Amino acid sequence: MADEKEKPQVTEILLQEEKAMIKTHGKFLIPIGWILIALSVLVTIGMVQGSHQRDPSIEAFLNHPDSPSLGGTIGVIIGTNLLTLPAMLFGIYAMLRKNAKGKPLAITSIILFFIIAGVQFLPSHSSDTQSYSRNDSYISNKEIDSSQLASEIAKELKGISKGDIIKEFIEKIDNTSLKYTSNQDGFFVIYPSKPTLTEVTGDIQTTRNYQAYSDSGPVSYNVFFNIFKKKILSSSAIDAYLKAALTGRLVAANQSRIIKEELIIYKGFKAHHFVYLEAELNPPILHEGLIFLLDGDSVSLTMLHPNSVVPDYSFDKFVASFNLIPLAPQLKEESWKDKVSGLRIRPPIDMDVYKTNNPKTGLIVMFSNKAGHSLGIFDISVLYPNMTNSDIERELSSQEKDLDNWYRVQLSNSSTTTKMVQLTKILEHGSKIYMVQGYGPAKTLFRSELKLKKAAESLTFIEDKGN
């Protein structure tokens, strides 16, 4: 009888010990989770403060969504949350172990996970390809509700001063420089203040200068776009221009002294980096710059300041913040018409008719610009009258296809080292099958891709072919 009485007591003791162990496991992981959260917050602060560059995998996914780029994007998001994910798991584990302190940790981890993931996409916010305007714009990061963002992160931090975290996060966000976007020239860059645009048109080129000054001193930051009437495209011409670029600047300088010059690769382009001093001026002025060629035009980034001044916002950070984006997809007001097919289309504003009506190739019209980008329309039914749309789609099935149903393939030209990309889309009208093709250099076709696609969307057929 005594043994029977002792059994329930022993069982109850074991259950209590088991519950204590369960709570102890969750309780032990809680402080580790909050430490990981705190470290994640500090990393996020550093990303917001610095010249954050979007990961190439995310850039590829935003420009051309497909399975490989989606996988890369997911990998980047997981990789940047290596501290947050364990904290999230610790919180969930504690909740499963009936530890009430696990819930705040799990919720905070989930919020921070999405904040850190969102930071990876920040550069694309002001360059959304679906909302273009003809006017340039600038976006201040002060528009972010930084107090609310910081409060969400610091809300559940235990053992860490919430006030200090919120204060530091607000200061980092509110002191971030201005991000300026030009849809006209297709770029964004971070300036220390709001820039102004000056445009000068000459006989051989049009120059647009986006200039801003530092609030902390007499430091000038400039982005020059020199749009040439005759493009510089061949490899030898590019090399010659880059070598002569500094010489041309020194002609206008007073008693200049070259401090540094080097040929480098900048964002995939050959570039000339230089530093020189105008010693005759009082005070002497230090010039630092970088020049490269983009679709036959010259782009230069420069910083000027008295030699005695050390800029708070360095030239390296200014140059690192510069990125190219797609050009505003502007089309011509007047449509081009073909009386034979009844086709009409509004070509991109910078493209003119290059060729028309070639029965041997089925070409109806081809538009091109001086930079080597083109848009062609072909009547496939002329060449292959028995082929159906499905037949043609099968022929192209080995090529990459984006969400807009455009096929993409990279081409090699034996006569040049320049890699080219061809975009193809198949259209049906009645019993006819048409092919629209965009073509351009692989490095820069993305700048024209939106306007090529928008032009294709404008393609229609007039009812009365005689008009």
Domain spans of the chain, in order of start: 2-174, 187-324, 336-461
**Residue in the structure block whose two tokens are 């509004």:** 346
* Rounded CA separation 38/35 (Å): 5
Q: From CA 59, how far away is CA 81, in angstroms rounded?
A: 19
Verify cis geometry, omega within 30 degrees of 0, for the bond prior to 104.
no
Q: pLDDT tens per residue, the chain (467 residues)?
A: 445 544 455 555 545 544 554 444 556 677 887 888 888 777 777 665 554 555 666 655 665 565 655 766 787 778 777 788 887 888 788 777 777 777 888 888 888 888 877 777 765 433 333 333 334 443 334 344 445 555 555 554 445 554 554 555 455 444 455 899 999 999 999 999 999 999 999 999 999 999 999 877 789 999 999 999 999 998 899 999 998 888 877 776 666 788 999 999 999 999 999 999 987 777 888 999 999 999 999 999 999 999 888 899 999 999 999 999 999 999 999 999 998 889 999 999 999 999 999 988 999 999 999 988 999 999 998 888 888 888 888 888 889 998 888 999 988 765 556 788 999 999 988 888 999 999 999 899 999 999 999 999 999 998 644 44
214, 193 contact by CB (below 8 A): yes
User: To the nearest whole percent, how much of the chain has pLDDT over 70?
Assistant: 73
Contact 164, 41 (CB under 8 A): no
DSSP 348: B
CA dist 213 and 318 (Å) reads 12
Please tell me the distance from the alpha carbon of residue 141 to that of residue 145, in angstroms, as a whole number. Answer: 9
List, in sequence order, the alpha helices (H) in 252-386. Answer: 315-320, 380-383
Same topology between domain 187-324 and domain 336-461: yes
Classified as helix, coil or strand, 226 is: strand
Residue 413: the pLDDT is 62
Strands 220-228 and 205-213: antiparallel
**Statement: 187-324 belongs to CATH 3.40.50.2300:** no
Q: Report the run of H or E that residue 288 belongs to, with start and end.
A: strand 285-294
User: How many angstroms separate the Cα of 157 from the Cα of each of 39, 110, 166?
Assistant: 11, 14, 11
Query: Under CATH, what is the fold of the domain 336-461?
Result: Protein Transport Mog1p; Chain A (3.40.1000)
Please provide residue 306's backbone torsions phi and psi, each rounded to the nearest 5 degrees.
-60, 145
Q: 228-280 pLDDT, tens per residue?
A: 999 999 889 999 999 888 887 777 666 678 899 999 999 999 999 999 998 77
Measured CA to CA, the distance from residue 341 to residue 320 in angstroms comes to 49
* Alpha carbon distances (Å) from 346 to 349, 352, 434, 459: 9, 11, 16, 7
